[in-house]
Amino acid sequence: MYMSPITADGSIASPVMNEPTRLRLRLHQKSVSVLSKAVASALGLDEFQCLRIGRAAAWHDVGKLYISNEILNDSHPINERDFLDLKKHTIYGHNHLKVFKGDPVAELASEIALQHHEKWDGTGYPFGLSREEISIESRIVAICDVYDALREDRPYRNAISHDDAMHVLIRGDMRTNPSMFDPKVLQAVTRIDDKFRDIFEEQHRRDGRESGGGR
């Protein structure tokens, strides 16, 4: 239901995203969903909250349905103009999910779609929120999204190992700084290091055979 593009009048629109990219997006979102539920549990959230976060996280990138295949599947490093367009997926996803009024999962998913690229240190987008201005659900999904993306092959770079991905989260690299993440959420991830690896490998082994490329 949530994976069909919607027009301004609320009707179903023709999909912009091609089928291989849609399959990869579904896989990424499902993996982030399971990772997010595990992190929520490690933070001590109750079972209902963990389930709710896991379900809502499965739609965090739905706004990419409205981003062109050319941008999503470009094998070159993204240029500034295309990056500005790509960043709009947060707004598109928020608006897409707002249509499903009265659905508590869609309401939380709408907030996560809007905020999952906000950063603890205020360097994220679309609004430059920081610290507790960002919902705890979005702070959880943010780090799971980065980890899963690092572990996946993308058109513009190869996947990296679990150990290398954890090093990026904890120590940083040229694109990622640990100051971007809520310290408590990052600590929770490090406590379930092995489980994180196992979840990713299980999700991608089970569902990854048909996935395509994409940002």
- Residue 157, phi then psi, degrees to nearest 5: -165, 160
pLDDT digits (tens, 9 = 90+) for 36-51: 999 999 999 999 999 9
Instruction: Check residue 5 and give its pLDDT.
Output: 54
Instruction: Check residue 4 and give its pLDDT.
Output: 57
Buried b (16+ CB within 10 A) or exposed e, 59-86: bbbbbbbbbebebbbbeeeeeeebeeeb
Nearest one of 149, 125, 151, 143 to 182, comparing CA atoms: 143
For 210, the token pair is: 């048909």
Instruction: Check residue 211 and give its pLDDT.
Output: 45
For 151, the token pair is: 């572990």
Q: What is the pTM of this model?
A: 0.89
Instruction: Check residue 166 and give its pLDDT.
Output: 97
pLDDT average per 10 residues of sequence, the chain (215 residues): 52 61 88 98 97 96 91 85 94 92 93 98 97 98 97 85 97 94 98 96 72 51
Domains of the chain: 19-208 (1.10.3210.10)
Instruction: Check residue 173 and give its pLDDT.
Output: 92
Buried b (16+ CB within 10 A) or exposed e, 91-114: ebbbbbbbebeeeebbebbbbbbb
**Residue among 30, 37, 64, 119 flagged as catalytic:** 64
Instruction: Check residue 182 and give its pLDDT.
Output: 98
Q: Is 30 a catalytic residue?
A: no
Bridge partner residues of 6 (DSSP): 12
